[in-house]
Amino acid sequence: MNSIVGALRFFFTHTLDRPDLARKLVRTRQVRKIPVVLTMAEVKRLLDATRTLKHQAALSVAYGAGLRVAEVSALKVTDIDSKRMLLRIERGKGGRYRNAMLPEGLLLLLRDWWRAGRQQGILVPDGWLFPGQSAAVPISTRQLYRVVVEAAEAADIDKRVGPHTLRHSFATHLLEDGVDIRVIQALLGHAKLNTTAFYTQVATKTVRSIVSPLDRLALASPSEEAPDG
């Protein structure tokens, strides 16, 4: 709806030179839903339930580096920087470039996939990291979505999950482990900090670690009184 409003405002303001007609076009406020997040145990079950090494490697990239599904699909073999332990994201949201983390365990898995893909004849040095039906095209985001859904069903995970669920889980687990939120913002490629701060609403481990004032009240001695003001 907001995209239609934006198009109409541009049409009236710039094409027709009638900004007065665009004043009554108001964008609707979108209510952001709390994302579904998997526990670490559920993530492991999901990854273990994938049918092929390619699918396991692709979903491991989504979770281990916190990538969007389109970013996973667009990765090329040359985007892996094993010397600096980074993944180069050259086709991020909004056309922005960034570096994503490359955990050691993920690098080992990608090397296993490289050897298997070379034997199958579908991986080439300058080609797609996760080819689709042929080596000439990358795996589609729709296919990755199906892979996640099928793996979740095989792992008996009753939550509604998709590829982005792994990205949400990545950010939430880092936040719960005490990683600075600005570091998480850079890893996710968020333009605004408040987008990353939304994960504080689902970081249950962080919430459980906070001591409630009620618990402090129970531990306080009878002689203690709260200061005025």
The DSSP letter of residue 13 is I
Q: Is 118 a catalytic residue?
A: no
- Would you place residue 204 in the very low, low, confident or very high pLDDT band (cuts 50, 70, 90)? low
Q: Where are the alpha helices (DSSP H) in the chain?
A: 2-10, 19-22, 40-48, 53-64, 69-73, 104-120, 141-154, 163-176, 181-188, 193-197, 204-208, 213-219
164 labelled catalytic: yes
- Choosing from 54, 55, 167, 173, the catalytic residue is 167
Catalytic residue among 45, 88, 93, 98: 93
93 among known catalytic residues: yes
Closest CA to 43 of 215, 166, 204, 146: 166
Q: Given this model, what pLDDT does residue 82 score?
A: 94
Q: pLDDT per residue over 177-199, tens digit each?
A: 888 888 888 888 877 777 777 77
What is the model's pTM?
Answer: 0.76
Q: How far apart are CA 58 and CA 14, in angstroms?
A: 44
Residue 34 predicted with pLDDT over 90: no
The reply to whether 182 belongs to the active site is no
All domains of the chain in start order, with CATH: 1-31 (no CATH), 40-205 (1.10.443.10)
* Known active-site residue 14: no
- What is residue 20's predicted lDDT score, i.e. its pLDDT? 67
Q: 199 an active-site residue?
A: yes
User: What does the pLDDT average to over 20-25?
Assistant: 66
Q: Which residues lie closer than 8 Å to 171 by C-beta, 6 or more apart?
A: 66, 184, 187, 188, 196, 199
d(CA 56, CA 91): 22
Contact between 61 and 55 under an 8 Å Cβ cutoff? The reply is no
Given the residues 55, 68, 168, 173, select the one marked as catalytic: 68
Share the mean pLDDT of the chain: 83
DSSP string, 136-176: TSBPPHHHHHHHHHHHHHHTT--S---HHHHHHHHHHHHHH
What is the rounded distance in angstroms from the CA atom of residue 136 to the CA atom of residue 71? Answer: 17
Q: Is the pLDDT of residue 65 over 60?
A: yes
